[in-house]
Structure 1
Amino acid sequence: MNSRDLAVGVFFMSQTALGMLGNSALLCCFIIADFSGIRAKPTDLIVKHLTWANFIVLCKGIPESIAAFSQTYYVDYVSCKLVLYFHRVGRGVSLVSTSLLSVFQAITISPSNSMWASLKVRAMGIVGPSLSLCWTLQMAMYAYVLVYTTDIKGERNITRIRFFEYCAVVNPGRPINILTLILLTSNDVMFLGLMMWASGYMVFILLKHKQRVKHIHRSQSLRSSPETRATQSILTLVSSFVLFYVISIVLTSYMFALEATSRWVSNAGVAMAACFPAFCPFLLLRHYTSISRICCPSSYQTTFYACFVREL
């Protein structure tokens, strides 16, 4: 085993372990909240689905680590299809769930006189159906993976085949590759744009609220305002998400464009796809573990921020 394979294996193993730990801790927060009798918000359901999708994405790090440490490791025919298929589905659900979370949060904190006020009651009632539709669409969209994925050891009369670490993918040809690339990229770009729009709207609402209560924050000059902290959290979450997924989209597009297999591009694509699922729970834990420390005086300004953090 050379130093490159060792570094790749250690990286995937560390990323997978860290992500599993963070997502498990986030699920524990929900379990504790359920047993404590804390009323769950509709957006909590989105975060739960996001967490399970993160688990699915991170599971691909296990065979990647084994393949890096052992050069003779291969996955059987059925397992190969399932690993690649559910990895793509989990990545898609993670993207769509984060976008849905941003949209529902934006609707929740919108002022009562805004055009979104009428959607507040109805939006919370369609969280469940939206998540069901999300899983269904992603499973249907990536069904092609089940068709074109095969194992390495199987002796099949296939001329155009691309070998990866432990699996192989049949190359259907440039026209189908281009069509698939356009479909998948359009899906990713659409939901990334939706999330950025919703997050920008939330930042705009928070900054407007900060201006209205500026006189209160003058007496709290030693610490940042609640709106500033919430804005920083939103920008951190969105910036990291967009960065990782844009790099993932670029690497995936490059893989489709290549006729041959590039090992480092394949490893980089898997690593980038798992970066946000690995670090996302730690960003969300900041909100869910701080709920118990939020006090709600009678003033509208403090209540606004407390409710916003609970929704986030």
Structure 2
Amino acid sequence: MDFSSTIMIILFLLQTSIGAPTNIFILMAYAHISHAEKDLKPIDVILCHLVFANMLGLVTRGLPQIMSDLGLNNIRNDASCKLLIYTYRTSRGVSICVTSFLSVYQAITLAPSTTQWLFLKSRAKKYLIPNIVGSWLFNMLLNAYTLRILHAQGNGTIPEAQYNVGFCYSKITVPSLALCFNIIMNGHDVFFVGLMLSCSVYILYVLKRHRDQVQYIHSTRQNSKVTAERTAAKNVITLVSLYVLCFGVDTGFLVYSGTLLIVPPLLSQIRVFISSCYALLSPFVIISFNKKIYRRLRYSQKEERMEHINTN
């Protein structure tokens, strides 16, 4: 095992062992909040699906990669390989869709209460769940092509010209179909990232206008409302900025990979690690701005300290 492989194993191990439990903790916290309050806010519902998709992506991609790099590759059949990569790609697609939907929903929430915007405000909340479920179904169908081209590495040799990730490789029999699929997938990502950025720019514009309008108003109630709106909007923009950063770096590696006849496995691993950094870092952003989840984290830490004191 060379030095670069050892570094990638450590990075994937840290990413998965930190990111997956943190996402699971947020899901458990939201489950407790939902049970206690009987209802979640629309943004909390969106974040639940985002966290679940991120957790699913970390588990289905990080763990097999670690096992493969350590020589513990037990994925010997095509079905397991197809299921893991298909689940990872689907969860990745849902993550970008839900993050985009989060920015759209926040932009609509901050929009002025005119006739046109009131219509969108009511529809956004009414069709919240159908839109999220639709994003899952859409990405499941969109990534169905990967089930055709993926094969398990097993004990056989892999042709050098094939793209592989250690435990799986893609066997492209129709280059034109593969090119069409890549164009569709890249167009999917570019569209939703563009939607995120557009909504973020609008959110910043609305916040600036609100600040200009209320800067001379000394009403505590009005200032509290504006502060809450600005806090929520800034948190959404932080998540969007984080995703765009990871997406930008990932795209740079993708463009470079397109110039190579043979894509080295190490380069593929670096791309996966960078694209999964959003799933690793976004839970900490969510915890930092969600007071209810933060209080539950503090409470769980306090309970652990009390149990440690009692046992000693």
Structure 2 spans left out of the alignment, 5+ residues: 221-225, 296-312
Who is 2:291 aligned against? 289
Who is 1:68 aligned against? 69
**CA separation of 1:189 and 1:201: change in aligned 2, threshold 3 A:** same
Do 2:54 and 2:92's aligned partners in 1 also have CA atoms closer than 8 Å?
A: yes
SS at match of 1:150: strand
Structure with more helix by fraction: 2
Who is 2:185 aligned against? 184
Tell me how far 1:152 sits from its aligned partner.
1.5
**CA separation of 1:113 and 1:255: change in aligned 2, threshold 3 A:** same
SS at match of 1:143: helix
Provide Cα deviations, 1:66-109, integer angstroms capped at 9, x if missing partner.
22222x63522211111111111010000001111111111122
Do 1:151 and 1:166's aligned partners in 2 also have CA atoms closer than 8 Å?
A: yes
**CA separation of 1:252 and 1:85: change in aligned 2, threshold 3 A:** farther
**Aligned-partner Cα distance in 2 for 1:246–1:272:** 10
Number of residue pairs matched? 287
The percent identity for this pair of structures is 29
**Aligned-partner Cα distance in 2 for 1:7–1:265:** 13
* Code of the aligned partner of 1:118: F
Do 2:27 and 2:52's aligned partners in 1 also have CA atoms closer than 8 Å?
A: no
- Which stretch of the first structure deviates more once superposed, 59-68 or 137-146? 59-68
Do 1:80 and 1:167's aligned partners in 2 also have CA atoms closer than 8 Å?
A: yes
* Code of the aligned partner of 2:94: V
**Aligned-partner Cα distance in 2 for 1:73–1:130:** 38
**CA separation of 1:265 and 1:41: change in aligned 2, threshold 3 A:** same
Who is 1:102 aligned against? 103
**Aligned-partner Cα distance in 1 for 2:188–2:170:** 22
Tell me how far 1:133 sits from its aligned partner.
1.3
- For residues 267-306 of structure 1, what are the structure 2 equivalents within 5 Å? 267-289=269-291
SS at match of 2:216: helix
Is 1:138 the counterpart of 2:139? The answer is: yes
Do 1:74 and 1:167's aligned partners in 2 also have CA atoms closer than 8 Å?
A: no
**Aligned-partner Cα distance in 1 for 2:156–2:41:** 52
Do 2:152 and 2:168's aligned partners in 1 also have CA atoms closer than 8 Å?
A: yes
Who is 1:18 aligned against? 18
Tell me how far 1:18 sits from its aligned partner.
1.5
- Which stretch of the first structure deviates more once superposed, 277-286 or 154-163? 154-163
Who is 2:299 aligned against? none
* Code of the aligned partner of 2:21: L
Who is 2:80 aligned against? 79
Is 1:56 the counterpart of 2:67? The answer is: no
**CA separation of 1:228 and 1:104: change in aligned 2, threshold 3 A:** closer
> With structure 2 as the length reference, what TM-score do the two structures score?
0.82
> With structure 1 as the length reference, what TM-score do the two structures score?
0.82
* Code of the aligned partner of 1:196: L
**CA separation of 1:202 and 1:261: change in aligned 2, threshold 3 A:** same
Do 1:67 and 1:166's aligned partners in 2 also have CA atoms closer than 8 Å?
A: yes
Is 1:246 the counterpart of 2:248? The answer is: yes
What CA RMSD, in Å, does the superposition of the two structures yield over aligned residues? 2.8
**CA separation of 1:62 and 1:144: change in aligned 2, threshold 3 A:** same
- Which stretch of the first structure deviates more once superposed, 39-48 or 191-200? 39-48
Tell me how far 1:161 sits from its aligned partner.
3.7
